Amino acid sequence: MFRIRIGGPDAAGTARRWGGLATFFVFGVLGAQSVYAANPQSYKVDWVSSGDKAIDSTLKLTSQLETLRPAAPVDPFGLSARARGDVTRLQKVLQSFGYYDGVITITINGMGLDNGALADALAALPKKADAHVKVDPTLGSLFHVGHIDIKGALPSGMRQNMDLSPGAPAVASDVLAAGGNLQAALQDAGYAFAIVAKPVAYEVPAQHVLNLTFQVRTGPRVRIGGLGIEGLKDVQETLLRRRLLVHTGDLYDAAAIEKARQDLLSLGLFTAVSVKLGGADQEQRVPITFVMQEAKKYAVGVSAAYSSDLGGSLGVNWSDHNVFGNGQQLTASATAINLGGSATTGLGYDAQVGYIIPDFRRPDQTLGFQVRGLRQALQAYTQTGEMAGTTLTRKLSSVLSLTAGLSYEHEIIEQESLATCPPLLSGMTTVAQCQRVQYKYNLALLPLSGYYDSTDLASPLLDPTHGYRISVIVTPTYSTGSSGKTYVVVQGSIATYFDLHHLFAGDPEGRSVLAARALSGDALGATQFSLPPDQRFYAGGSGTVRGYRYQSVGPEFADGNPEGGTNMEAFNLELRQRVGTNLGFVVFADSGGVSSPSGSVYRVGVGAGMRYYTSIGPIRLDVAVPTQRRPNDDRFEIYIGLGQAF
């Protein structure tokens, strides 16, 4: 915290200090009687609200009476000492919020801490009786910032970067941040060695203001000198040289250097990247060295997920993050899918091998190759296929990227047809017995996509609290085999996240979030049954409408199995609330439907879930129910996975 000086001698304060020492001595002598009292002395803490939820929460988190109570038992003398320490500790909390004449009053069993009879009262307590501690904060007057003086030469126009002005509440974090803001602005403007010391605050109690003085030393304005790279073992230095976002001769800019550091870290080749500055030379140039700590070259992992409609999945994956020294990535995975589940009919698999070349032709471009084998045994259809493709991704900015691809798929799909499963006649109550027909397809696809993400997260598995995620995919497709058609599939989604902390007093940022998403898809140039079954649109399941089985929302054959359609839309709304450090809960409502020439079906599902937050993303458990349950719908669905639903 910054230093506070008050003009004039404080005789009253001196008297209080001597009085406190005398009381401490008396209590120490009388406290000898406490050896016969309960040891340890159990106690409860009652908190009187200050009227500000944020202050109340900080007081409790700072109080040793509160935080040490369950884990560090004390005897009666230790309880009194702990309470005395809290008085000073909690008064600093009030000061940090701008209440410099605030008072903390702590009593034990209704007696003040300076009461000479407190020791006898605690000694007289039965061994199993709790002592009752009461903490009563009185805020007093809110202090405001008075004069702001700068000592030291400051370049023109820099002062406004402090983001602090006279009349603002004298909140400690804001005052300290003002100095940090000024120092950062100076360093971004070429003053690499600028230092803004912690401010000295002069309290004027009569006016309820703090006058602030900031000591500033700018040092010389410098440019970037030589650029060094240290710590490399397997990674080629040429990759990093091509990647560097700062160059020799540039004006020193701390923010630009930090951006360059983060960019190198984003390659996924390093566990840490730090920056060392050298001294300025005669030409006022500062050498900069990036110190790298390489990550392990190989990684092996396992994955698992479960939903009551698709059943379980269990997989293993392997990756080489630096195949030839320039960040090329080779990955392989094999996953068993459709392990049980109400929307599946048998065991399936998903096996993939991928190869990625970063910085292909230019630093912001990635070339990828993928080979995949897939088998799905679903109520809608059974699919066995092999796919091979390549993609080229260009990152246009920190939030926007475009991807173009070319792929080939060969697949065999079994599904009912209108010939083998005609619609039931009106009045018929028997369940149709339909036979599946085998279809063979060869597909050439040219997917083109754009992706916008302003959530400022390094991984899509992390928990978004603000911003947008928008994607558009247009896939021209040429199909041969059972269907000789050329068509275009268009899909789009938009998700947004609203931080609600400003609606709840004292609620920190990112703990109450409203998330919303809209999905849409359309197949142009093809009829319902000229589309391969896996290219049609379906709704239901964790990705669209929770509460309904996977692919179950939409037109159905006479036996109740999904047909799939040519158009789909879905909407999701979810309220996410964190509780404590790692836990949270959500409530949600999903709706969606699928259309085809035979009609359209629209459904709504609602539910709630729990979240356990980890460093790699929240572990999700959702339970959802259908609001319009049909005879072939499950009563509820369960979804377990990693990352939020969207």
User: Letter for the amino acid at 276?
Assistant: K
Q: Give dist(CA 391, CA 445) in Å, integer.
A: 11
Please give the pLDDT value at position 20: 38
Mean pLDDT of 339-358: 96
Bond into 76 cis (ω within 30)? no
CATH number of 298-418+435-642: 2.40.160.50
Whether the pLDDT of residue 18 is over 60: the answer is no
Helix (H, G, I), strand (E, B) or coil at 67: helix
Please give the pLDDT value at position 2: 55
- Boundaries of CATH 2.40.160.50 in the chain? 298-418+435-642
Of 24-38, 116-130, 247-261, where does mean pLDDT reach its minimum? 24-38
Please give the pLDDT value at position 29: 36
Please give the pLDDT value at position 11: 37
CB 564 within 8 A of CB 552: no
- What top-level class would CATH report for the domain 223-294? alpha beta
Mean pLDDT of 456-482: 93
In tens, the pLDDT along 30-60 reads 333 434 456 788 999 999 999 998 899 999 9
Considering just the CA atoms, what is the radius of gyration of the chain in Å?
A: 33
Which one has a higher pLDDT value, 494 or 19? 494
Please give the pLDDT value at position 30: 36
Q: Which of 162, 166, 160 is nearest to 180 (CA)?
A: 162
CB 518 within 8 A of CB 493: yes
Of 391-405, 428-442, 493-507, where does mean pLDDT reach its minimum? 428-442
Please give the pLDDT value at position 27: 37
Whether the pLDDT of residue 426 is over 70: the answer is no
In tens, the pLDDT along 304-326 reads 999 999 999 999 999 999 999 99
Of 3-17, 82-96, 164-178, 306-320, where does mean pLDDT reach its minimum? 3-17
In tens, the pLDDT along 492-506 reads 999 999 999 888 766
Note the pTM of the prediction, 2 decimals: 0.75
Q: Which of 559, 563, 569 is nearest to 551 (CA)?
A: 563
Domain 144-217 in CATH: superfamily? membrane protein fhac (3.10.20.310)
Mean pLDDT of 174-178: 95
Token code pair at residue 64: 């040793």
- Boundaries of CATH 3.10.20.310 in the chain? 144-217, 223-294
The alpha carbon of 145 is separated from its chain's Cα centroid by a whole number of angstroms, namely 35
In tens, the pLDDT along 543-596 reads 999 999 999 999 999 888 999 999 999 999 999 999 988 999 999 999 999 998
